[in-house]
Chains A and B, each alone.
Chain A
Amino acid sequence: MAILGAINPILTVDIEGGNAWRLDDYVKRGGYAALKRIMAEKMPPAQLIEEMKKSGLRGRGGAGFPTGLKWSFMPKDFKGEKYIVCNSDEGEPGTFKDRDILSFNPHSVIEGMVIAAYAVGAVRGYNYIHGEIWEVYKRFEEALDEARAAGFVGKNILGSGFDFELFAHHGYGAYICGEESALLESIEGKKGQPRFKPPFPASVGLYGKPTTINNTETFAAVPFALNMGPQNYLEAGKPNNGGTKLFSVSGHVNRPGNYEVPLGTPFMKLLEMAGGMRGGRKLKACIPGGSSAPVLPAEIISECTMDYDSISKAGSMLGSGAVIVMDETTCMVKALERLSFFYYEESCGQCTPCREGTNWMYKVVHRIETGLGRPEDLDLLGSVTKQIMGRTICALGDAASMPVQSFIKHFRDEFAYHIEHKKCLVPLDVQRSGSGFFKATV
């Protein structure tokens, strides 16, 4: 996999060569220039944070929180260690951008983390990398060795007197660790169960110390935003939605992959870049921001532009930029059944509404899918989601509920057909043709 297409790219320029991930190559592309400038000028951290605010960069992990503002929450006169953590625990179904950033441009993440550490006064950092991508973890460690050897990480960085140690932490298979406080628990060597907030990590984070956590793509964007200037970065996207974004397009398209485009690019343009619909079939629905984002039917998503505000107005979330495309061969009940199984499987078990609720949601959707649904099931599912949402420590309960609500809201007829006729509205052989597996023999 690689970056398959782009419009006015920033993060993924010239990273196609096999050695782009190496330090030399990154430096040739202007890498570490932002860090060098900050160190040479001894730029005041407050000014750096101000520049990040101006750039309009918002968290790329899903919540879209303004990065500069997040950094400004770190206490300035704290006595003791502060930490920087990068969230590369990319497990939101549909999302696979951070893997490519770490594979092809790991030094941009390292540079972004060092700059962030300088801005908030952190002395130590960790990049928490998704368990299933061992090869990427090994590469990041190699890139870190290069950065250490070149004096960009470690003691007295570039002779400035600023110290920052950075390490990689390898996950081992738990979706919940993408939630920032669960991730911190996991680095501490515990089960990844989210913490109650507040206090937020900026006050009580890793090992109980002030901690800033950002997503991989967010850190990667930092050096670029500073090099091109905050105003230019902002203008590369649209107001309140600065810069470009990597979109991971998966599902029923001809060229699934990552695409870097300015925020505000029309959905239909992105779909066209991804080679259009597989087999020329008709678009049925799209989950625009990872599996936790509400699904949107074709007629709504077709009118959207890909930015935080437009997708939110349409009733969904841009989330992590994971665009899951479904065509007319998709049985929406089966699609929801698989997602519900995922949340049931990945609920950490800490909060009763989520632990029990995700189980019940899966059971009920499963019985509808297998022809045992009851007429009252749709209302039952709706009431279960209401019992979960807002009643749990973290957002996984909400994330499990939103697909259930949105699938039923937009495709109620299909669910009702299943219950009444005990079978799919979409014939099984049609469903089977959608995946493209066995294409050689069909």
Chain B
Amino acid sequence: MLTQESITRIDREVAKYPADQKQSAIMAALAIAQEEKGWLPSEAIEFVANYLGMPPIAAYEVASFYNMYDLQPVGKYKLTVCTNLPCMLSGGVDAGEYLKKKLGIGYNETTPDGKITLKEGECMGACGDAPVMLVNNRRMCSCMQPEQIDKLLAELE
């Protein structure tokens, strides 16, 4: 279900916790599975749960609780824009509107070519760099004025 590379990465996470606490690695394991699959289909959640020796429902509870897991397919690039108050004061909401217009989609929608999914996010802990957005949960982009957004979109082409 998952590649050997992903399994090796999961094993490295499991090793961080006491031997009888493998479940502690579930968050990392789900993140690794999502990275490989692009999102978290229920088979991937079940596989990871079995691998860590926990009930699949307990793994699903985790996957559905934390908002960076995608339980539905997303585009090749998931763009999450922070619109919380500190970001809003420095253009976070405007940046979201600008992206909607440019991409022709709303929040929680994907461009017809399957390339970009737009999400509205909560505080990313980078309010001084607003507007802030996150690409595929990993890469944080700071100070995203229109010019920088255009550049990012061109790069994601």
Query: A167-203 toward B: CB 8 Å interface, digit per residue (1/0)?
Result: 1011111110000000000111111100000000000
Most buried by B among A81, A96, A325, A441: A96
CA distance A302 to B7 in the complex (A): 56
CA distance A132 to B21 in the complex (A): 25
Contacts A167-B16, A173-B68: A207 and B131 contacting too (C-beta < 8 A)? no
**Which of these, A171, A324, A434, contacts B85 with CB under 8 Å?**
A324
Shortest distance in angstroms between A302's beta carbon and chain B's nearest beta carbon? 19
A439 within 8 A of B: yes
Number of interface residues of A (CB under 8 A): 65
A93 within 8 A of B: yes
B151 within 8 A of A: no
Q: Which stretch in A21-29, A56-64, A339-347 binds the other chain?
A: A339-347
CA distance A260 to B67 in the complex (A): 32
**Which of these, A135, A248, A256, contacts B90 with CB under 8 Å?**
A256
Contact B140 A135 (CB under 8 A): yes
Contact A207 B18 (CB under 8 A): yes
A1 within 8 A of B: yes
**Which of these, B62, B122, B128, B145, contacts A250 with CB under 8 Å?**
B128
Contact A437 B98 (CB under 8 A): yes
Contact A95 B127 (CB under 8 A): yes
A249 within 8 A of B: yes
Contact B65 A250 (CB under 8 A): no
Contacts A191-B61, A191-B65, A207-B21: A440 and B147 contacting too (C-beta < 8 A)? yes
Q: Which residues of A contact B84 (CB under 8 A)?
A: 93, 291, 338-339, 342
B94 within 8 A of A: yes
Contact A91 B89 (CB under 8 A): no
Contact A257 B128 (CB under 8 A): yes
CA distance A355 to B17 in the complex (A): 32
Contact B125 A91 (CB under 8 A): yes
A351 within 8 A of B: no
Shortest distance in angstroms between B126's beta carbon and chain A's nearest beta carbon? 5
Q: Which residues of chain B in 37-58 are interfacial with respect to chain A, using CB atoms and an 8 Å cutoff? A: 52, 54, 58
Q: Which residues of B contact A251 (CB under 8 A)?
A: 85-86, 89-90
Q: Which residues of B contact A439 (CB under 8 A)?
A: 145
B111 within 8 A of A: no
Q: Which residues of chain B in 83-99 are interfacial with respect to chain A, using CB atoms and an 8 Å cutoff? A: 83-86, 88-95, 98
| 30 A–B pairs (Cβ distance < 8 Å), ordered by A | A1-B126, A81-B18, A92-B123, A93-B85, A99-B126, A124-B18, A130-B125, A169-B24, A172-B67, A173-B122, A174-B67, A175-B123, A186-B27, A189-B23, A189-B25, A189-B26, A189-B58, A191-B65, A192-B66, A248-B127, A249-B128, A256-B90, A324-B86, A338-B83, A338-B88, A342-B122, A435-B92, A436-B91, A437-B145, A437-B146
